[in-house]
């Protein structure tokens, strides 16, 4: 029997998990839903069980599949396509606390996943489902990280991968990965929102199987970012989860994770979500400020190319998450993102620009008194520092930048080394 099904977030109509569909007949988005009462008859859903002793295919289960009974309860070990994603670190940093003014901050580094971003958490579940459905090929539109992750997991599952990326707007580390892992990479003369439109058309007209976050199985995997953080905090519930918003997949997944954590009796108090958008790509922030009466798509522009998105596809699910968690949405400028990045990098942690919107947002919300002194804040760093080396080089080679750390050229003599050493003293 199946414990899970697809359910419309508006009209409630349900469909079988094996139906290949991404919207309801009424046009609204679909969730993966689970019948917890039925799952509980067979499996323990008690939060104390999530130790590292769970295994998949004789491998440690990783941070997604340790929660398998709340993600895809029915699967057998053999069906799962996994690279042991998750189990990412939760950093403390005196330097970042001092810079943001947030004394009780944790940074969960999703850039430490197998392909360097949180996307792997969703990809393991969505590729598993794609294979279970007998799909031969998978596709996505991407600002870079989804394409890198898709390429790696498609290879693992021995499927053909096809990715669409916007010309001139994807960081070099990410394109390199898509090419290297073997996905067919189409560079589209348009922006991310054009790529996304093409993926929807390809799904409807050509039957291509999309692995963007319109695929509800992606979000089931991304829920585990929240659950794993709670586990690492030994279920001491933080006041805030702060993270960047682009296509709003994480916003949708995190709200669902917390809603289900309450349903399952794992937490009694609801933490608040704070979604941070780049000012040049902030349709969700604008909608939040008008009470979600409407969202006007934007022509997006930001240095944080991962979140350079003007028409987020998960808008309706994201509103639900903000309402479930009494959440908020804030925006930060590219200069604020860059400044935050220089500090995160110099703290020895490092992250790509979009991730640094998280820390810029925390600093701003502390400054506004929205996040109060002493409140526990979990900031999500979504992507690895090495994804976008160009932004780093451009900053540090520019001596006009206040915190620039440019390299120094010397002759091959010990005298030149000694001179630099003495200057540093």
Query: Which residues of the shown chain bind ligand F0G in the complex (CB under 6 A)?
Result: 117, 119, 142-146, 213, 244-251, 306-307, 352, 354-355, 382-383
Nearer to ligand F0G, 3 or 284 (CB): 284
- CB-nearer residue toward ligand F0G: 196 or 342: 196
Quick one: 61 or 248, whose CB is closer to ligand F0G?
248
Contact (CB, 8 A) for 153 and 249: no
Count Cβ atoms below 10 Å from residue 67 Cβ, excluding itself. 25
Burial label for 15, CB within 10 Å (0-12, 13-18, 19+), is middle
First vs last C-alpha separation in the chain: 70
Shortest reach from residue 388's CB to ligand F0G, in Å = 9
**Structure tokens, 413:** 């003599």
Taking the complex as a whole, the smallest distance from the CB of residue 100 to ligand F0G amounts, in Å, to 19
Q: Which is nearer to ligand F0G, 39 or 380 (CB)?
A: 380
Smallest gap from residue 174 Cβ to ligand F0G (A)? 7
Residue 186 neighbours by CB distance under 10 Å: 15
How does 138-177 read in b/e, with b if 16+ C-beta sit within 10 Å? bbbbbbbbbbbbbbbbbebbebebbbbbbeebbbebbbeb
Closer to ligand F0G by Cβ: residue 75 or 139 = 139
Longest dimension (CA), the chain: 76
CB of 387 to ligand F0G, least distance (A): 7
Nearer to ligand F0G, 249 or 310 (CB): 249
Three-class SS state of 317: helix
Closer to ligand F0G by CB, 129 or 382: give it. Answer: 382
Q: How far is the CB of 92 from ligand F0G (least distance, A)?
A: 22
Helix axes 389-396, 334-346, angle to 10 degrees: 90
Interatomic CA distance for residues 155 and 178, integer angstroms? 11
Kindly provide the residue ranges of all beta strands, DSSP E only, lying in 110-195, ordered along the sequence.
137-141, 160-166, 184-188
CA distance 378 to 387: 22
Minimum distance from residue 290 beta carbon to ligand F0G (Å): 20
The distance of closest approach from Cβ of residue 84 to ligand F0G in the complex, given in angstroms and rounded to an integer, is: 20
- Kindly state the smallest distance separating residue 276's Cβ from ligand F0G, in Å: 10
Question: Phi first, then psi: what are they for 275, rounded to 5°?
Answer: -95, 130
Q: Which is nearer to ligand F0G, 75 or 313 (CB)?
A: 313
């Amino acid at each position: 029997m199946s414990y899970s099904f697809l359910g419309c977030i508006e009209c409630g109509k349900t469909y079988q998990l094996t139906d290949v569909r991404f919207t309801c007949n009424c046009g609204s988005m679909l969730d993966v839903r689970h019948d917890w009462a039925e799952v509980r008859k067979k499996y323990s859903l008690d939060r104390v069980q999530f130790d590292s002793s769970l295994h998949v295919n004789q491998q440690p289960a990783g941070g997604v599949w340790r929660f398998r009974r709340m993600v895809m309860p029915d699967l057998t070990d053999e069906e799962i396509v996994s690279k042991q994603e998750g189990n990412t670190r939760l950093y403390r940093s005196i330097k970042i606390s001092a810079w943001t003014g947030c004394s009780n901050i944790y940074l969960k580094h999703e850039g430490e996943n197998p392909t360097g971003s949180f996307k792997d958490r969703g990809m393991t579940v969505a590729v598993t489902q794609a294979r279970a459905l007998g799909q031969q090929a998978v596709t996505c539109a991407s600002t870079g990280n989804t394409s890198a992750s898709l390429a790696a997991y498609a290879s693992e599952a021995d499927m053909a991968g096809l990715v669409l990326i916007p010309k001139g707007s994807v960081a070099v580390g990410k394109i390199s990965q898509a090419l290297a892992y073997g996905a067919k990479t189409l560079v589209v003369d348009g922006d991310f929102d054009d790529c996304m439109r093409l993926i929807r058309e390809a799904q409807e007209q050509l039957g291509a199987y999309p692995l963007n976050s319109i695929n509800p199985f992606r979000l089931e995997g991304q829920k585990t970012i929240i659950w794993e953080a709670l586990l690492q905090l030994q279920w001491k519930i933080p006041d805030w989860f702060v993270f960047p918003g682009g296509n709003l997949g994480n916003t949708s997944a995190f709200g669902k994770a917390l809603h289900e954590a309450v349903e399952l009796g794992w937490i009694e108090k609801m933490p608040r979500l704070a979604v941070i958008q780049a000012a040049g790509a902030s349709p969700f922030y604008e909608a939040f400020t008008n009470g979600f009466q409407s969202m006007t798509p934007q022509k997006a522009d930001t240095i944080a190319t991962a979140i350079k998105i003007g028409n987020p596809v998960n808008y309706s699910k994201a509103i639900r998450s903000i309402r479930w968690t009494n959440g908020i949405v804030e925006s930060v400028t590219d200069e604020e993102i860059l400044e935050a990045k220089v500090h995160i990098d110099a703290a020895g942690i490092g992250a790509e620009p979009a991730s640094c919107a998280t820390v810029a947002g925390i600093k701003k919300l502390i400054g506004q008194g929205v996040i109060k002194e002493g409140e526990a804040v979990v900031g999500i760093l979504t992507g690895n520092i090495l994804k976008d080396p160009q932004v780093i080089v451009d900053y540090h080679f520019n001596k006009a930048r206040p915190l620039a750390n440019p390299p120094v050229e010397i002759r091959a003599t010990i005298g030149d080394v000694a001179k630099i050493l003495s200057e540093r003293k």
